[in-house]
Chains A and B, each alone.
Chain A
Amino acid sequence: MRNARNYLFLWGRSLLTLLLFCFSIGLVSAQQITVTGNVTSATEGTIPGVNIVLQGTTTGVITDLEGSYSIVVPGPDAVLVYSFIGLVTQTVIVGNQTTIDLVLESDVSELDEVVVLGYGTQKKATVTGSVSAVKGEALKSIPANNVSNTLVGQVAGLMVVNRSGEPGADDSQIRIRGINTLNNSQALIVIDGIANRDGGLSRLNPNDIESITILKDASAAIYGAQSANGVIMITTKRGKAGAPEIGFSLNMGMNQPTRLPDMLNGPDYAQMLNELDEYRDRDERYTQDQVNKFGDGSDPFRYPETDWYAETLKDWSPQGNANLTLSGGSEAVKYFISAGGTYEDGYFKNSSVGYSQQNFRSNIDAQITKNIKLRFDLSGRHEDRKYTQMRGGTTFRFLQGMKPIEPAFWPKRSTDTERLPGPDFEGGSNPAVTSTDITGYNYDNNYIFQSNVGLDITELFTVEGLSFVGNIAIDESFREFKNWKKPWILYTWDKETMNENNEPDLVGSVKGIAAPELTQESRRSKSFTGNMRLNYTKNFGEHIVSVMAGIERQTQTGYYFSAYRNGFVSDQLEQLDFGANNTSKTNNGSLWESARLNYFGRVNYNYSNKYLAEFVFRYDGSQIFDPKYRWGFFPGVSLGWVVSEENFMSDVSWVNRLKLRGSYGTMGNDKIDPYQYLGTFEFGGNYIFNEDVDTKSLRPSSVANVGVSWEVAKNANIGIEGGLFDNKLSFEFDVFRNVRTDILYPANAAIPLTAGFSPPDQNIGEVKNQGFDLSLNYIHTINKDLYWSVGFNGGWAKNEIVFWDEPAGKLPWQVSTGKPMGGQLLYNALDVFIDQAAVDAYPHWPGARPGDIRFEDVDGDGEITVDDRVRTDKSNFPTFVGGIPIAFGFKNFELNILMQGAAGAEQYVQVPSGEFGNYLQDFADGRWTSENPNSNKPRAFNRTDEYWISGRNTHFMRSTDYLRMKNVKLSYTLPQSLVSKANMKYVQVFFSAMNVLTWDTYKVFDPENSSQNGGSYPQRRLFNLGVNITL
């Protein structure tokens, strides 16, 4: 038995070895030692629940009630890390000891935790800005393949909304403290100290991420003209000295849409159409008998009934990822190397939609002399996106629209080998067919390579405290698109003609295009960043002063070209050469460039870790602006007072840490179109002369705005943070007020249309955004086998347009100035006219009838006109986003749950129903009919025919507030005794899930979707099994 088990483990290990072949690394032979001991605290005696972890692994044990422990370590080189909240973490090299007893010192350990800031790091205890960090480990445990989808509910003030789950196109919208500007509100992304890297953060390998830091306030000012929307900094893992350590993780999951809308069945839909006829004074098109036939399946050719979702989507779609890491090294050279791959399938049957990725990273540190270190980082990935001609969002729009009384596929006739596809909606679109590769494909391959060479010199010129850091980063990416369209065949039946077998004579016809066509496009971009900085730190007794100054230049260029041909004689040769050589063929190409140069610096002052001050600045120059107005200065200042360090606090034992801090800074946002300072001409569309000669045209593209400059953010923040009750409870609370001025916006009120030009953007807009972030965390360790923790994090932000040159004279209820961004003008839907008397009794739209929506006559003029529309206060971006992380640990089991919610957003819901397409069940249930006149839901409607459909109104606006069980992970760590027998250090198996349950009142679509007609690919609900192994 034991042999068999060993054999299995050996087999498994061999497999892993094979997988690791590319690293050419053999496994290190093991020589195990069991270490036992007892841990006490200087003040409180024995302590249960101390974490003892084998350094560089996640292998570990916890001390029992007597403070005793026992752990198996691989050999004398092993290093054990002893940690307990509120006590100093200690590391011990095992050597030849088998008993290690320790006394842990009180507190200050947390203060040593280091946070990555712009161009440097700092101890968390002395940070004076509003900075949040999340550990890569926390994100790694979430089974999403897209990093942007792991961030929601993790950090107070980081507002994340996921609009789409389409493989490869499922990036979340990330906003730091909501939306602060009328223009681009994306945060600056900095990866390993380099800003604006191609590909962003979404597709980074979560296993490579050491930490993510979010600069939420004026601490971002060090990034100057790009920092106004906040900064997200990702730091990747680096090697630590020690024996090579091999990690392997595997996730395999099954996903499905979080929510599909309930649509009407065949008979109910037919009934709705009959009602339309009644309202249009026409004969009802279906008899009751016919209506029933759509439901009873008695004549599936003449009276089909189709569940389009069931015909098009499969129940579950696979996804997964596998990852290998190798790290370790000597004091001289350390390495972190990883390779991984992910795969996600689309929801569709015969799916040709999918995303896969292969990625690698190699981060090397070489200590050349005592004070010179060289860094060499290289990473690359291939993002492989496969789509069908019809993208996911469109397919879902069609799915909800398809009529339940049309067949997706005809029933099989005696001569059919398979079910023939049914008719199209229009233009050949039968989503059960067009969601497959029958119509061709749409491939998108993106290759991203990033490199960074760095040099760190400490004690420069042998001056103690003086150091130098330099970096050169060269990134390059290539993107290839190939879009191959080909005709397909759908079958219709006139519901009369029978074939020779006396079966319906289905007629096939070519749909879409007459002959195949191909578009190919190639994009390439490259960027270069060079920076260097000097740091100097000096202690004068209790005073510590550190100064940093740096310079950076960045250039980026990109170009593309594309070509198209149609009229392919065969669909076998998918290359441009084989398309027709006619006038329809096209080729296009263009180029763009950007360049930045900037100087930045930071001064820190620290008095006895008690009084803290920081000043950061950046002097930024960008090619976007007129040379005369190209440079800007962005300072930020912050102060901190560590109250808990004061003598008068020494008696307050329940307060472990307490810090007050405040910041104020000026930052910029230059995410605008370049060259607005030039009056330029561009090639416009074509005009035909001489009957058929296509001739180019040239038009003024813009009026010069000579003074164009960046948006200016003036952000203020006050915060308090601390740890209470032996740091069991930690908290952080920030209040902020951001004022964005000089927002580039057209001078709408000043420039009448008779001027003949669209006003260029000018630095005139102003937006105010204020709110708070709050995070709380409570951890309670009951004994060595049992602990639990619960937390809360949330951010609330509400913006208001202060000025955007709205022409004067607007009706007071339609004015947008002073209101939040993103509001709409809607008629106020009061209720439904129950009968003709109700119609006659109130001002109404011409042609209103019973069952129609009653609009409020807001201006009281006795008519319903556009002047009665009222501006709404909400947008489709939430004002509050938060999370509740909950964890339980029992022996080797651990359960993590993240509850997550958002509030304050609303979404318009309107699908084109009627003769055009199916109705949402929600709209049909309880609707007004002559038999049900006291309903508060309007009658059956036909697409946009009714004034209360074409006139957008509050009846169709719904709150999207939701609470979801976002992430769940149940893990079991195999006992050390078992694992070590297999020469492994750590084995964890786990079940995890995403978007398990959702509670909301929105009901129809996923509450994070922003499409009013369901035209977006729903987010995933995912169930996943995984394993993490360390060798």
Chain B
Amino acid sequence: MKNISRILLIVILAVVINSCNSDFLNTTPADSLSENAVWADPILVELFVNEMYRGIGHGHHECEVGSMTDESHFIHNYGTNQVVASLITPSDIGQWSAGNQNAYRWPRVYEYLRNANMFFENIDKVPFEDENLRKRLKGEVHFLTAYYYHNLVRTHGGVPIITKTFLLDDEFEVPRNSLKECVDYIVKNCDDAASMLPVKQEGAELGRANKSGALAIKSRILLWAASDLVHENWYGSYEQPDLVTIGGDRTSAWTAAKNAAKAVMDLNAFSLHKPTGDAFDDYTSLFISKSSPEHIFSRYFIKSNGWDSEDSNTHSPLFNGPNGYAAWAGNTPIQALVDDYEMTDGTRFDWDNPEQAAAPYENRDPRFYASILYDDAPWRQRPATLQANDPIGEISIRTVYAGNDVTSDRVYGLDTREGPQQTWNGGYTGYYLRKAIDITVDPEFVYDGANQEVPWTFFRLGEIYLNYAEACIELGEDNEAKIYLNMLRDRVGMPDITETGDALRQRYRQERRIEMAFEQSRYFDVRRWLIGPQTQDMNSTGIVINEFADGRVEYSVHEVGQVRGWDDKTNFLPILQDEMNRNTMLIQNPGY
């Protein structure tokens, strides 16, 4: 026993004396890499660039940008009410501070831009075996830089252009660059990217930035930079107008916009998506197909994508589907959008026309049927629980009365807030989103991985046509504009536009609203055109449909309880108050 204790004493002493060598404290992390390791390995550099793609967002987050416009009502609010009522302040920008809008959010965009700067500071020392890869990655990061700034500038106006990687002990305060400098910087990055990238990416590179995409960003931002928003004084007196306006010659601005759009078209690499020639099928599959001759730059998704704000596209059927399909309604189209879909003869729908008011969903622009679910719209098979009520699978909004007036016994529609299933997930407007939702996906099981694999297309030829047409109209080249507008209308079987002058401008704006619905265009268009006071200053409305025993069906438009209002200040988001406080060189946007 004495020996045991002697041995133990020696062991303890050995352990403890060994401790005097404190090398064992020098552990290294087992789950992360050092900076040097990254820039020494081309494969890791490529992964680093991949990360920058993750931030570019997509259009099918649970809360869509369209719900901050006159496209839809987001029933769960999530800060959209502040935006549509123009209640945002520098301390509260509502949904614009939510993760769903990361691709536009000041903090996130600057995070990715820091990665871009870090990339450019290091890329030339990476030992590439294939120099083409270095060039391609540089081109991609120029594209991504342009993309991030074009989001930030369109939402905030002139922003600080950061071209270095900040470290902890740097001087951080920077001023905002003028709007013109910002646009020039975006254009320069587009041009650089275009010079380094192929027109299209293919094979393993499909989905990476390409030359066409770079030119498409340029088209979009130059159109924006030619618009009324940045040339007219909507803000009164403001200490630094060059943060929100560009000035200069409008004609040359519109010409630049026209040329930028033309540059994309002149690549001759894309054509309108019309594989079948059927208007409804073509316009539907344009947003579902993984490949299309119209897609310029898209992001792809697979079923196993997760729930985080970067990947949630795959859940769109659940986010937006009707409650009668065990989904959550989410972004529900409002009546104002529905009413803007033309009749098939190209005339405006009119509630004062008794024939149209009695059958409002008949003879409408095929894009209506492909974009919006309405009462009696054919849709997929119901969940087992409701198949007895609706064996066919049609959207059910109307209330069916046993008698001839509203006091009689009634049965509510399956997809309403009074329906038999998940009433709290019913929409208020009587419409559900259909565009870019895959009918083959059962929303009931999306929660558990039965997701959709629908891509998100950031740029497509259709938008370029519209950009081109708008620039042409503003330059007085009406006929040139109509060629491209009517190509789009022809694809969906709508009659040609024949107007000229301001009437043409209004038809064009109408056409853009419909063609680009739910593609994150409307929010910027109403601001570019300074038409917020006309289009955004009215409460959300929806439809109520009553069917009586005698066969009468009455459609009536009701407010849905979402208060809206317009304030010109919301043409741009405010700089967050905390950011203003941290960086005294910043100047707040007008009106805040």
Contact = CB atoms under 8 A, between A and B. Distances in A.
A285 B417 CA distance: 10
A697 interface: yes
B27 A705 contact: no
B377 to A, nearest CB: 21
A426 B326 contact: yes
A799 to B, nearest CB: 24
B18 to A, nearest CB: 8
Interface stretch (A144-152, A212-220, A743-751): A743-751
A693 B164 CA distance: 33
A755 B114 contact: yes
A502 interface: no
Given A496-B389, A623-B27, A694 B162 contact: no
A916 B424 contact: yes
B417 A915 contact: yes
Contact of A374 (B5, B22, B412, B561): B5
Interface in B139-194: 160, 162, 165-168, 170, 172-174
Interface string B371-386: 0000000000001111
A514 B5 contact: no
A368 B89 contact: no
B35 interface: yes
B507 interface: no
A472 B16 CA distance: 10
A823 interface: no
B51 A684 contact: yes
Given A281-B558, A623-B26, A684-B54, A703 B16 contact: no
Contacts of A749: 581-582
B105 to A, nearest CB: 9
- Output the residue of B16, B30, B37, B54 with the most chain A CB within 10 A: B16
Nearest to A425: B422
Contact of B581 (A453, A471, A756, A808): A808
Given A630-B25, A681-B48, A752-B173, A512 B448 contact: yes
Contacts of A867: 89, 91
Contacts, number: 312
Interface string A454-471: 010100000000001011
Nearest to B564: A846
B300 A514 contact: no
Nearest to B85: A846
B33 A698 contact: yes
Given A749-B582, A756-B113, A494 B420 contact: yes
Contacts of B578: 748, 807
B478 to A, nearest CB: 40
Nearest to B328: A426
A551 B33 contact: no
A685 B308 contact: yes
Nearest to A847: B563
Given A682-B32, A752-B172, A866 B19 contact: no
B449 to A, nearest CB: 7
A701 B383 CA distance: 43
A687 B54 contact: yes
Contacts of A683: 47
Given A553-B15, A584-B449, A756 B110 contact: yes
A811 to B, nearest CB: 8
Interface in B562-592: 563, 565, 576-583, 586
B559 interface: yes
Contact of B579 (A621, A752, A808, A944): A752
B104 interface: no
Given A530-B12, A690-B207, A678 B162 contact: no
Contacts of A931: none
A555 B162 CA distance: 44
A424 B227 CA distance: 51
B16 A453 contact: no
B27 A470 contact: no
A90 B40 CA distance: 77
A62 B206 CA distance: 90
A674 interface: yes
A892 to B, nearest CB: 45
A507 interface: yes
Interface stretch (A587-595, A641-649, A919-927): A587-595
A122 B205 CA distance: 72
A6 B174 CA distance: 92
B172 A583 contact: no
B445 A513 contact: yes
B310 to A, nearest CB: 6
Contact of B32 (A701, A706, A810): A701
B5 A368 contact: yes
B24 to A, nearest CB: 5
Nearest to B418: A285
Contacts of A596: 25
Interface residues of A, number: 117
A539 interface: no
A691 B33 contact: no
B85 to A, nearest CB: 6
A554 to B, nearest CB: 10
B25 A621 contact: yes
Contact of A623 (B25, B111, B167, B173): B25
A685 B425 contact: no
A698 B50 contact: yes
Contact of B8 (A455, A691, A758): A455
Contacts of A505: 388
B168 A372 contact: no
B291 interface: yes
Interface in A717-773: 748-760, 762
A530 B300 contact: no
Interface string B189-205: 00000000000000111
B304 A694 contact: yes
A689 B544 CA distance: 44
A594 B30 CA distance: 11
A945 interface: yes
A992 B370 CA distance: 69
Contacts of B107: 753
B461 to A, nearest CB: 19
Nearest to A811: B91
A494 B386 contact: yes
B238 interface: no
A541 interface: no
Nearest to A485: B448
B581 A757 contact: no
B357 interface: no
A75 B580 CA distance: 85
B34 A681 contact: yes
B582 A807 contact: yes
A283 to B, nearest CB: 6
A420 to B, nearest CB: 13
B9 interface: yes
Interface in A251-268: none
Nearest to A495: B420
B77 A950 contact: yes
A283 B406 contact: yes
B92 interface: yes
B31 A591 contact: yes
A937 to B, nearest CB: 21
Contacts of B282: none
A674 B29 contact: yes
A-B complex: 9 closest residue pairs judged by Cβ atoms: A756-B114, A509-B384, A470-B12, A807-B581, A916-B424, A697-B51, A680-B32, A698-B47, A530-B15
27 contacts: A280-B561, A368-B4, A492-B421, A505-B388, A510-B384, A513-B449, A530-B16, A530-B19, A552-B19, A584-B304, A593-B30, A594-B27, A597-B22, A687-B207, A688-B207, A689-B206, A690-B203, A690-B206, A696-B47, A697-B47, A705-B168, A749-B582, A754-B174, A757-B166, A759-B168, A808-B581, A944-B76
Given A627-B25, A675-B28, 12 more contacts: A507-B384, A555-B24, A566-B449, A680-B34, A687-B51, A690-B300, A691-B291, A695-B47, A697-B51, A754-B160, A754-B162, A846-B85
